[in-house]
Amino acid sequence: MLATKQLSNNVIKIISDSNCYIIEGKYIIDTSREGLKSELIEAIEKYVSLNNIEKVLFTHLHYDHIGCFDIFPNAEFYANQTAINAMQNKQDKNNIILNPKTCENFNVNLKNIEKDKDILCLFKIWNTPGHNSSCIILYYKKDNILFTGDMYFAPGRYGRIDLPTSEPEKMPNSIKVTLEIIKKYKPIICSGHDY
């Protein structure tokens, strides 16, 4: 079974090769890779029924962050507009997901995370392209937690920029924005991977 860690009264981390986070028992940030489905289900259900998850928020759409999307029967799925646009073109979809099987299975109606009032009440959201054209980071205001996906892991450690939909020329500004947020809020950092 995957290990878990209570980060605050409202946030639980599911420790995986690609981390997932349960927020307030009704939101999930990222869903790990497809091969960990049974372990992820078991870890989440220690805290909340899969039926109670209302919204799944993706930091970006790589296969290791979206693979278990289909375990949430009542959820709506959110990404930024860049990701939504990429899903409309088969070649872009393949390049943004990076795994043919996950790409074939990932047929969800993505909603624009930047337009959902409930999400915007809980989170501040920044577009941080570089590792991927559609990367976002989310600041959970209530508990001072910053979810950085694969944008930022630790001081001096950032996401790869050599992938098909990476935008290396945009990474310096995204790093600058992220570091300014960290300096301003001094948040708990919750990244997509623990490296």
Integer Cα distance of 50 and 62 in angstroms: 22
CA 76 to chain centre: 14
Give residue 92's pLDDT band: very low, low, confident or very high (50, 70, 90). confident
- Whose CA is closest to 110, among 90, 133, 92, 83? 83
- Whose CA is closest to 30, among 46, 14, 41, 45? 14
- What confidence score (pLDDT) does residue 51 get? 98
Give residue 56's pLDDT band: very low, low, confident or very high (50, 70, 90). very high
Q: Which residues contact 177 (CB under 8 A, 6 or more apart)?
A: 126, 128
Instruction: Give me the chain's average pLDDT, please.
Output: 96
Structure tokens at 21: 């986070």
Phi first, then psi: what are they for 177, rounded to 5°? Answer: -60, -45
Q: What is the DSSP letter of 114?
A: G
Provide mean pLDDT across the span 51-59: 98
- What confidence score (pLDDT) does residue 195 get? 82
End-to-end CA, the chain: 20
Domains and CATH numbers, the chain: 3-191 (3.60.15.10)
Spell 44-83 as b/e; 16+ CB within 10 A means b: beeeeeeeebebbbbbbbbbbbbbbbebbeebbbbbbebb
Phi first, then psi: what are they for 189, rounded to 5°? Answer: -95, 125
Distances (CA, A) of 159 to 19, 25, 174: 14, 28, 11
Residue 5: pLDDT above 90? yes
Compute how many other C-beta atoms are within 10 angstroms of the C-beta atom of residue 115.
11
Predicted TM-score (pTM) above 0.95: yes
Integer Cα distance of 165 and 102 in angstroms: 16
